[in-house]
Amino acid sequence: MDQSLHERLHLRLEQQRLAFNAERMPSYAVRRDRLRRLIAMTEQNAEALAAAMSRDFGHRARQESLLTDVFTVGAGARHALKHLRGWMAEKRVSTSLMYLPASNRLLPQPLGVVGIVAPWNYPYYLAMNPALSALAAGNRVMIKPSELTPETSALMARMVAEHFSPEEMTVVTGDAEVGRAFTELPFDHLFFTGSTQVGRLVAQAAARQLTPVTLELGGKSPAVIDKSADIALTAERLAFGKLLNAGQTCVAPDYLLVPRSLVEPLTAAILASMRKMYPTLDANPDYTGIVSPRHHARLHALLEDAKAHGARLLQSHEEQPQSRKIVPTLVLDVNAEMAIMREEIFGPLLPVVAYDTLDQAIAYVNQGERPLALYWFGSDKASQQQVLAHTHAGGVTINDCIFHLGQEDQPFGGVGASGIGACHGEWGFRTFSKLKPVFRQARFAGTKLLFPPYGATFERLLGLLKKLP
């Protein structure tokens, strides 16, 4: 590793750590000011962010950027402002009868310096959403954005430098080598969003420093279509969920599980919904491109591999874009040999798996690693409960896609291979806090009866304590 790179990163970390040590418990007013500056920074640069992301993607729909990257950060910060005083307050915890009149409290305390590694698919939101939680909790923040979105990363670095001191929050730009060095720093907490494969490497690097981690990963998120589903409604919502950001979303539906009798009508309805939302592709300002030539080629390779293994491809449009955009494609007659059924897709390709019984669908989900999201469409409450009870996923949306991610009053995070820990709202605040237990003993305490020298009184008291609930 470049020694100068190592030294520069450690210097930034030490600057923040010294500042934190001088202010270990920032006041409500200080934290509120930092959140307000983050909101102002976001609002003032909204259009510049949308333009930068569009350049990074070859084209990205302005409205998608304003909704998914800009609005979401502002909404999260405003939610934190509204609830911050309550989150910061000591929490009373019940005390066992044997210890009364003593009392228990939980004191939320900031951890110190937080490192955030953000991916390219929602480059501003996935950097600033954990950052706002870390700031609300009273921490200092260092961010490493993706090298695949250099325009957005450079803009973020300038924005943060204008609105925050480097001791409060700073952005470290650079290539994969910088990213590796960043994850090896001895942070007080490391928050990583990205692929499961890279997440394993990040966890290993953090473990060498005993740095606690939150991993927001991904996986193959299924959509289970029940026989009771409304075909038109389901098709429209699946089309939106799959084509938002051209499928480059960690919680996009990765494949469909569909009753065999509904495969043809549902796929026809999905294709029709896709054409209605995006009448054209190449010149359409609403349809986003693929982030890089490498990812564009990877998606085409998935289609070619599926076709070679006997899949049937149904494309939404006859138009073949000349840009980095890809025609939305449903992939039918899939099997386990196809790469598209083994890898997370991250693009506008949607495999369809037919099933005969709901038990088969549940077994199909459970044979793979636990996904970040699961979707269920239908009106049969018994079937819905069966799927919820017998599958695992980081989060679930019923009769829609994606939107569980936007709930600030719910935790967002993975399970198993799709992630560790959670963020959003109070859960994000807790992630970046130490909930320190505080036991306050009373002036006159019965625990003195437990002191030596031991004798009959101790034995009687121990026997009594065993009978307490």
Positions annotated as catalytic residues are 216, 250
Taking the C-alpha atoms of residue 371 and residue 418, their distance in angstroms, rounded to an integer, is 5
- Is there a contact between 203 and 179 (Cβ–Cβ < 8 Å)? no
- Is there a contact between 394 and 414 (Cβ–Cβ < 8 Å)? yes
CA angle 43, 47, 53 (to 5 degrees): 115
Taking the C-alpha atoms of residue 368 and residue 391, their distance in angstroms, rounded to an integer, is 11
Centroid of chain to Cα 102: 40
Q: Quick one: which of 223, 291, 301 has its CA closest to 257? A: 223
Contacts of 235 (CB under 8 A, 6+ apart): 266, 269, 270, 272, 273
CB atoms within 10 A of CB 17: 18
* H helix and E strand count, the chain: 16, 16
- Is there a contact between 413 and 367 (Cβ–Cβ < 8 Å)? no
Q: Quick one: which of 314, 322, 309 has its CA closest to 268? A: 314
* 103-110 sheet: strands from edge to edge: 91-93, 103-110, 433-440
Taking the C-alpha atoms of residue 192 and residue 419, their distance in angstroms, rounded to an integer, is 9
Q: Which residues pair with 332 in a beta bridge?
A: 312
Taking the C-alpha atoms of residue 108 and residue 433, their distance in angstroms, rounded to an integer, is 6
Residue 18 has phi, psi (to 5 degrees) of -60, -40
Q: Quick one: which of 238, 200, 239 has its CA closest to 217? A: 200
- Is there a contact between 288 and 324 (Cβ–Cβ < 8 Å)? no
- Is there a contact between 72 and 125 (Cβ–Cβ < 8 Å)? yes
E-strand stretches of 65-102: 91-93
Taking the C-alpha atoms of residue 271 and residue 359, their distance in angstroms, rounded to an integer, is 28
- Is there a contact between 419 and 397 (Cβ–Cβ < 8 Å)? no
> What does the H/E/C string look like for 235-299?
HHHHHHHHHHHHHCCCCCCCEEEEEHHHHHHHHHHHHHHHHHHCCCCCCCCCCCCCCCHHHHHHH
